[in-house]
Structure 1
Amino acid sequence: MLLYLMKTTYTPQDQNVLPSRRPAEGRERRLINELIESMQHPAAVISEIAVGSHFIGIRAEDSGADCVGLAATLGAGVTAEAQRLLDQLPGTPLAQAAALLKSHGAFAISLGAAALNAGLVPPPDLPDLEASRIMAEKGRHGETVLVGEFPFTDWLREQVETLHLFELRDTPRRTSPAMWDEILSRCQVLGLTGTTLITRAMAAYLQKAPQAYTIIIGPTTPLSPVLFSRGADVLAGCRVVAPGPVFDAIRKGMSFRDFKKLGVQFLAWSRPETVA
């Protein structure tokens, strides 16, 4: 049974749902290792870290290249241990910080995800498309699974033939967790939040729905071709084009929905035909 999901905005109270210590084991650890190895800027030096109640942003420099990445905190707060990490990371290479993805602590995992994303470079000239539109098009026929409740959930339900909402919280019209594995084995479309990497469930979802057209969604999504080799068809992530305003908004505790218009560009990277 898959247990760890995501919604678009977490609060500290949600740590009652997500365990505060989440070791990376088995296939999830192997996926993290592959993602770190795929970083184009592993040696970029961290120059700035923005921390808020909902997001972390990391900025680094590599021979003139400005490397910026985001990750959701999923409600994890800054403990004394986390503050020590924040004090130590400036001046260190992104690859070292990205290895925190294999840590046990929730905040450290999110730091690692932001560092990973800062070190990844997607191809140029990707289309500016939102995941909801792609899912609506692909889900006109058959069953669609959406992992986590998003602002577009109700709209998407009206666009697709059948929508199954996988959400741990007792929200309206969610699908019973007892049915998740069965539905995953037959669904035609899977919308999977990028934060499943943080909650240790991404590799499991990709393995359980190999037949589905799979879209990995959101600002925590690693823009790495490794995910195509694991079964993803579209990486619907983002690029930070104005780090200053975005980092200021993160520090103020703004949600992604609120700060995305300040300097974030949506990207949709489709699976190359040459990927087996």
Structure 2
Amino acid sequence: MDMVPVTMPALKPGAVIHGPRAMTDTLLGDFAGELQSRGFRVAGLIQRNLDAGDACACAMELVDMASGEAIRISQELGAGSTSCRVDPAGIAEAGSRLRSALDGKPDLVVVNKFGALEKDGGGLADELLWAMAEGLPVLTSVAGRLVGEWLEFCGGHCDLLRPDAAALWEWWGGQRLYHDLLLGVRDGPVGRIARSAHWLLVEGPDACGLARLPRGADQAGRPLEAYAERGLRDLAGLVQSTDLFEAAVGLASLNAHYNRPDLQVDGGNGLDAFAAEEGRVICVGAFPDIARRMPHALVIDALPAAGEYPAAAADFLLPGCAAAVITASTLANRSLPRLLDLARGSRVALAGPGTPLTPRLFSYGVEILAGFIVDDPDGMVRSLAEGATPRGFRAFGRQVTLRRPE
């Protein structure tokens, strides 16, 4: 079956609202730089102020995110000058560079601020309007005194953001975690693919990855040999498919990159993460042995047993909970971003053999990654052929836990 790709949802322009002393240049620069380091295509300009000595105010320059080059935008007018120090030639050069970068349709456009020049139609106003008209994700900052002018400029079509990193990641959105995970995968040959009625295994150059097949995944007429002929990165791209079987193949391929045997992680069962947590604890997914390990947890499952809640209950159980353990199967059925939104502000663990063990997920609201590393690929393939459950997987690998740094 041909893959039907899922595109990332459009973002409203994001405006960080700040007071007179906020370090928004650093905030936006760090966020844009982090996305760039993960492989996202970032275009934009971040202001940097330099000490020009006692005789003058600080020198100002804009750093081009695409090239890393700095463009001076201030004039040295002397300590007694009351004229505007902004250099029109520097602004013009910065605008020209930004317009060129926008032609490449970047994943993020960041402009350090919407200021006095932009509110009057100057500065980088044209570039901001062009990027917004093209539907590109735009991020900027706006001083509190200019919020009215900004809303008029963008027609009210925007998200107003707190000046902190968590707000920027919330704006960026959980749906983008799939592309984020894919950007980190190193390509290589696929050794073999195996499956049971409920589980898939993909063997890459450095590791084996597992994924549970979502309920409703159509396995008929799916020759695994055809998938195995593709490279690991290409196969991992299937995680963006709307086809449930192919999405599971993509997730297992992601894990064949991230869940390497040489990964330095702690051991332990993910269900123990919040066993002593006070307050409402939610489990999304009826994990084996959950009644003993988390006797007070409220369980949500697609096919709830007696005493459990249906999937729709997530809407009123997750908001405001103290902690939530979410099955990694929600990655394959694409419900994880919505669940993370519902649990925002709570402690969250992603658990199960299909959990990708990568710090990239911490930025999207996950605190603990409780997954599985395969140490004996041959044994694991045999166990799948025999219909083993996750309890039987333990003879061929180990449960591990990766925690977000404090």
- State the TM-score bracket (shorter-chain normalisation): 0.7 to 0.9
Shift of 1:147: 0.3
Shift of 1:43: 1.2
Task: Call closer, same or farther: CA 1:77–1:155 in 2, change over 3 Å.
Answer: same
Q: Which has the higher contact order (CA 8 A, sep 6+)?
A: 1
Q: In the alignment, which residue of structure 1 is the partner of 2:195?
A: 51
Q: In the alignment, which residue of structure 1 is the partner of 2:282?
A: 145
Cα separation, 2, equivalents of 1:130 and 1:157: 12
Task: Call closer, same or farther: CA 1:179–1:255 in 2, change over 3 Å.
Answer: closer
Which string of whole-angstrom CA distances, capped at 9 and with x for unpartnered residues, describes residues 59-114 of structure 1?
122xxxx321111113535322x22xx23233432110011112222211111111
Tell me, yes or no, if structure 1 residue 197 matches structure 2 residue 336.
Answer: no
Q: Structure 2: which amino acid aligns with 1:136? A: A
Say which of 233, 240, 250 aligns to 2:384. 250
Tell me, yes or no, if structure 1 residue 133 matches structure 2 residue 277.
Answer: no
Shift of 1:156: 3.5
CA contact (8 A) 1:38 1:224 kept: no
Cα separation, 1, equivalents of 2:369 and 2:307: 26
SS of aligned partner of 1:69: strand
Return structure 1 stretches of 4+ with deviation > 6 angstroms: none
Task: Call closer, same or farther: CA 1:116–1:176 in 2, change over 3 Å.
Answer: closer
Q: Structure 2: which amino acid aligns with 1:96? A: D
Task: Call closer, same or farther: CA 1:87–1:127 in 2, change over 3 Å.
Answer: same
Task: Call closer, same or farther: CA 1:252–1:179 in 2, change over 3 Å.
Answer: closer
Say which of 68, 81, 102 aligns to 2:240. 102
Task: Call closer, same or farther: CA 1:90–1:272 in 2, change over 3 Å.
Answer: same
Task: Call closer, same or farther: CA 1:157–1:240 in 2, change over 3 Å.
Answer: closer
Say which of 363, 366, 369 aligns to 1:232. 366
Cα separation, 2, equivalents of 1:104 and 1:179: 24
CA contact (8 A) 2:303 2:310 kept: no
TM-score, normalised relative to structure 2: 0.55
Q: Which moved more, 1:170-179 or 1:202-211?
A: 170-179
Unaligned 5+ residue runs, structure 2?
A: 10-172
CA contact (8 A) 1:187 1:209 kept: yes
CA contact (8 A) 1:68 1:117 kept: yes
Q: In the alignment, which residue of structure 1 is the partner of 2:113?
A: none
SS of aligned partner of 1:214: strand
Alignment of 1:262-273 (within 5 A): 262-273=395-406
SS of aligned partner of 2:387: coil
Tell me, yes or no, if structure 1 residue 34 matches structure 2 residue 153.
Answer: no
CA contact (8 A) 2:357 2:369 kept: yes
TM-score, normalised relative to structure 1: 0.79
Shift of 1:51: 1.6
Cα separation, 1, equivalents of 2:304 and 2:256: 34
Cα separation, 2, equivalents of 1:248 and 1:97: 22
Q: In the alignment, which residue of structure 2 is the partner of 1:72?
A: 212
SS of aligned partner of 2:197: coil
SS of aligned partner of 2:353: coil
Shift of 1:271: 0.3
Q: Which has the larger radius of gyration?
A: 2
Q: Structure 2: which amino acid aligns with 1:150? A: F
Say which of 167, 185, 193 aligns to 2:319. 185
Q: In the alignment, which residue of structure 2 is the partner of 1:12?
A: none
Cα separation, 1, equivalents of 2:211 and 2:304: 25
SS of aligned partner of 1:111: helix
Which string of whole-angstrom CA distances, capped at 9 and with x for unpartnered residues, describes residues 209-248 of structure 1?
1211111000111112121000100000010000100111
Q: In the alignment, which residue of structure 2 is the partner of 1:218?
A: 352
Cα separation, 2, equivalents of 1:177 and 1:97: 29
Unaligned 5+ residue runs, structure 1?
A: 1-20
Task: Call closer, same or farther: CA 1:206–1:78 in 2, change over 3 Å.
Answer: same
CA contact (8 A) 1:28 1:201 kept: no
Aligned length: 238
Alignment of 1:166-181 (within 5 A): 166-175=300-309, 179-181=313-315
CA contact (8 A) 1:121 1:223 kept: yes
SS of aligned partner of 1:236: strand
Cα separation, 1, equivalents of 2:228 and 2:264: 31
Shift of 1:126: 1.3
Which string of whole-angstrom CA distances, capped at 9 and with x for unpartnered residues, describes residues 147-196 of structure 1?
011112211343x4xx2211232411113655432321110010001110
SS of aligned partner of 1:136: coil
